[in-house]
């Protein structure tokens, strides 16, 4: 299984980088994992935020292959338990999807075009989190999903 994460912005804090590196190392046994970081548009004028979101969206869409299964992280997406998330990944693999792409938008969210490209919209919570934390949550949940799929123990 190939997993691609497309995220707007770069990780800044050392603790977030360390956490991601640990989960990337663990995930190596289960899947091929890649990350595409889209530079965040610097917002100098709040009135231009929709335009910046569209520019980020164009770059996100350019990084997605036509046959990839796309899961966007959106506050209005569907919330799943870890077991249901694992089942979703297993089902996609069984259906023959070679690549799952997870998309984390920028500070302004996702453009309408990126949201429309989604095959599935996922929400981790109705709360708002920093994009750095969402990345950690996503890596951890992907790792947990593979542990569940393979009937391996992992703390509850």
pLDDT digits (tens, 9 = 90+) for 118-148: 999 999 999 988 889 999 999 999 999 999 9
* 42 within a domain of the structure (yes/no): yes
* 103 touches 62 (CB < 8 A): no
Domain holding 112, by residue range, is 2-149
Joined together, the tokens standing for residue 108 give 């302004």
Supply the pTM of this predicted model.
0.95
Whether residue 156 has pLDDT greater than 70? no
Q: What is the largest CA-CA distance in the chain?
A: 50
* 63 within a domain of the structure (yes/no): yes
Q: CATH code at 114?
A: 3.40.1280.10
* 156 within a domain of the structure (yes/no): no
Query: CA nearest 151: which of 107, 89, 86?
Result: 86
* 155 within a domain of the structure (yes/no): no
In the chain, the number of structural domains is 1
pLDDT score, position 13: 92
To the nearest 10 degrees (0 to 180), the angle between helices 82-94 and 131-149 is: 70
* 154 within a domain of the structure (yes/no): no
Q: How far, in whole angstroms, is CA 72 from its chain's centroid?
A: 6
pLDDT score, position 74: 95
pLDDT above 90 covers what percent of the chain?
82
């Amino acid at each position: 299984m190939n997993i691609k994460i497309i995220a707007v912005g770069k990780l800044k804090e050392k603790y977030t980088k360390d956490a991601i590196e640990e989960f990337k190392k663990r995930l190596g046994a289960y899947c091929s994992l890649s990350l595409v970081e889209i530079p965040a548009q610097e917002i100098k004028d709040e009135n231009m935020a929709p335009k910046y979101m569209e520019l980020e969206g164009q770059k996100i869409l350019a990084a997605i292959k036509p046959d990839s299964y796309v899961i966007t992280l959106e506050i209005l997406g569907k919330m799943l338990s870890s077991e249901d998330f694992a089942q979703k990944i297993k089902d996609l693999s069984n259906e023959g999807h070679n690549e799952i792409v997870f998309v984390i938008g920028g500070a302004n969210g996702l453009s309408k075009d990126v949201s429309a490209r989604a095959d599935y919209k996922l929400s981790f919570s109705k709360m708002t989190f920093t994009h750095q934390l969402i990345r950690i949550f996503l890596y951890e949940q992907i790792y947990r999903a593979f542990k569940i799929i393979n009937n391996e123990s992992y703390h509850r």
